[in-house]
Amino acid sequence: MAAVNAGIARPGQARKRLLRALHYGAVILLIFLLLTPLLAFLFNAFSFRWFYPQLFPNELSMRAWESTFAANSKVPEALLTSTILAVGVTLSSVIIGLPAARAMGLYAFRGKRVIEFLIISPTIVPGIAVAMGLNINFIRWGLSGNLLGVGLVHLVPVMPYVVLVLSGVFANYNPEFEQQARSLGAGTLATFWYVTLPAVFPGIVVASLFAYLISWSQYILTFLVGAGQVITMPVLLFSIASGTNNALTAAMSLVFVAPSILILILTARYLSGKSSAIGGFGQI
Amino acid sequence: MTLWDRWRIPIMLAPTMSVIIFLFIGGLIYGTMVSLGWQPLIGRTEISLRAYQNILLSGEFTEVFWHGLVLTIWVSVGSTVISAVLALMTALLLRRTFVGKRLATFLYQLNLPVPHVVAAIGILFLFSQSGVLSRTGAQLGVISYPSDFPVLVRDRYGIGMMLSFIWKEVPFIGVIVLAVLQSLGVDYEDLARSLGANRWQRFRYVILPLVMPGVLSGSILVFAFTFGSYEVPAILGVRFPRTLTVTAVRFFRNPDLNARTEGMAISIIISIIVFFLVLGYMWLSRRAIRQD
């Protein structure tokens, strides 16, 4: 059979090899195009006196990093503010969203479609109108220019994804295990801690990932409600983005992005194939 | 039916719905009132459509608004369509089995957590007149000075903004498509192949209809986001025309509290446009999918 086919298999084989080479070429080009902007940050961050038209910096230096973490730098404080904000928003969004997700995932009830529509509507209405509208009330209520007010506004883009992710988990959850635990004498708290929480834990990880990422990268809501008092990393970065110190801008960008990439890598195994959750990346 | 059974679901929904109702809907309603001239803090309580008239019809901001609207639609629709097409192509590219597929897929998704502020700065590094691309041109002898390089960022046509959005959104829609492709397996295609369908037919009549809902839902999120995005046009835009979001924020931040009304009105117009375009698009695409 092989001997009979040998004569005609050759051109087919060559064509296959060419297609494979083309495929590899296309993949490499794609990855190259996607990575170049990120590589540009690395080059810039370690560059010093990188004059035109040098393609690569002739002098490498840690200057940008030194000034990023210098005593008079605003970066450490901004990192702290961003972290407090993102952690606070993440924790509160999961606590707020968990019961709603359970209701959406487990039960059928009248008006469910309307509730669902209302919960996802912040994903399609730009946050700018909401933040401007709240801004004036927040000034009156003392919520403008502080972390509490900014955190509250961050909840608006975060909640749809938290509820979406968690309700997906509850849709495959069997509440009868809770009844069994109760009939064996477990209290409400023990049932939640030992039965419910472990079952929905993977969902909580994914929901927290998106809550953190959306809050961490939020600029305009922080800017409008923070009124120049709440300086997070994106606010600081935006203020120097149009400046001329590329090395400093690049170093600060890397400091800003690194935690997000790290957290994504650490939680990647919980993320696979959850297509409803992936939508959260669109808000970053 | 006990009292708890009756009230269980409303109570479970209450915390999330308070965020949606008081912050989201409340913010929109209050914003609408401000856009109608209602500013009790500075003693103005009469309601009027003056701001909308100034913006839409025959006021001092009409030109700024309509040029801004054209730019905003051009940038958001352009970025969305190009991203969706490239996402589909690249997802198909990464779907085939090959050595290094895991690494390639990982690198493909690497920019997903990168915020748009950073994406805009990256585009500046690459495409500005003294950026990496311009330097490459100079090294190759194609150009001699930075000023020979075409203006691709902070340009009138929003090219820089589109580059920035496309860089961010191709992997975003691509990952959604990859997730759909993964769940499909290869059974349908094998079946089509055994029935004699060629490569193009397998794509057009088997894969495309199956991934289309994913592409469309991803595109909706991308369109809504790019239309209302602020950081990217603020960093990569020019003074005229400005996108609607940038104009709205400028007006809103104006020390003159009267300009607030106009800024708020533009934001409300942005929300209305996005909301209805998305609804219309969803309706049309559902109909198109049903007919396919």
Per-residue pLDDT band at A6 (split at 50, 70, 90): very low
- Enter the tokens of residue A37: 């902007």
With a cut of 60, say whether residue A4 has pLDDT above it: no
Give me the DSSP letters along B267-289: HHHHHHHHHHHHHHHHHHHHHHH
Whose CA is closest to A276, among A85, A116, A130? A116
User: Residue A14 class from Cβ within 10 Å (0-12 exposed, 13-18 middle, 19+ buried)?
Assistant: exposed
Q: In this complex, which of A53, A153, A274 lies closest to B139 when CB atoms are compared?
A: A53
**Residue B206 DSSP one-character state:** I
If you count residue pairs, one on A and one on B, with CB atoms under 8 Å apart, how many are there?
A: 281
Q: In this complex, which of B21, B136, B263 lies closest to A132 when CB atoms are compared?
A: B263
- Report whether A123 contacts B20 (CB < 8 A): no
Q: In this complex, which of B96, B180, B225 lies closest to A23 when CB atoms are compared?
A: B96
Using CA atoms, how far residue B189 sits from B6, B95, B212, in Å, is 50, 13, 16
Whose CA is closest to A147, among A72, A92, A205? A92
Beta carbons within 10 angstroms of residue B217's beta carbon: 18
Provide the mean pLDDT of chain B: 91
Which chain A residues are Cβ-neighbours of B218 within 8 angstroms?
A: 279, 282
The C-alpha of A246 sits at a distance from chain B's nearest C-alpha, in angstroms, of 8
With a cut of 60, say whether residue B144 has pLDDT above it: yes
| A201 contacts chain B (CB < 8 A) | no
Give the contacts of A232 (CB within 8 A, at least 6 positions apart): A78, A81, A82, A85, A150, A218, A222, A226
User: Is B130–A52 a contact, with Cβ atoms under 8 angstroms apart?
Assistant: yes
The C-alpha of A72 sits at a distance from chain B's nearest C-alpha, in angstroms, of 23
User: Is B28–A263 a contact, with Cβ atoms under 8 angstroms apart?
Assistant: no
ipTM: 0.91
With a cut of 70, say whether residue B102 has pLDDT above it: yes
pLDDT tens per residue, range A97-131: 999 999 999 999 999 999 999 999 999 899 999 99
Give me the DSSP letters along A190-227: HHIIIIIHHHHHHHHHHHHHHHHHHHHT--HHHHHHHT
C-alpha radius of gyration, chain B, whole number? 24
High-pLDDT (> 70) share of chain B, %: 98
Instruction: Tell me the domains of chain B and their CATH numbers.
Output: 36-291 (1.10.3720.10)
Query: What distance separates the 2 farthest-apart alpha carbons in chain A?
Result: 87
pLDDT at A8: 52
pLDDT at A9: 53
- Enter the tokens of residue A155: 């909840």
User: Is B20–A122 a contact, with Cβ atoms under 8 angstroms apart?
Assistant: yes
The C-alpha of A69 sits at a distance from chain B's nearest C-alpha, in angstroms, of 19
Q: In this complex, which of A30, A34, A129 lies closest to B31 when CB atoms are compared?
A: A129
User: Residue B90 class from Cβ within 10 Å (0-12 exposed, 13-18 middle, 19+ buried)?
Assistant: buried
Q: In this complex, which of A133, A156, A260 lies closest to B113 when CB atoms are compared?
A: A260
Interface test with B, best of A210, A275, A276, A283 (most B CBs within 10 A): A275
CA–CA dist A125, A147 (Å, integer): 23
The C-alpha of B5 sits at a distance from chain A's nearest C-alpha, in angstroms, of 12
User: Is B132–A273 a contact, with Cβ atoms under 8 angstroms apart?
Assistant: no
B3-18 vs A75-106: helix crossing angle, rounded to 10: 150
Q: In this complex, which of B171, B235, B275 lies closest to A241 when CB atoms are compared?
A: B235
- Report whether A200 contacts A173 (CB < 8 A): yes
* Helix, strand and coil in chain A, % to nearest 5: 80, 0, 20
pLDDT at A2: 47
The C-alpha of A95 sits at a distance from chain B's nearest C-alpha, in angstroms, of 9
pLDDT tens per residue, range B200-233: 888 888 889 989 988 998 999 999 999 999 999 9
pTM: 0.93
Interface test with A, best of B121, B219, B223 (most A CBs within 10 A): B121
- Return the residue of A nearest to B14 by Cα: A100
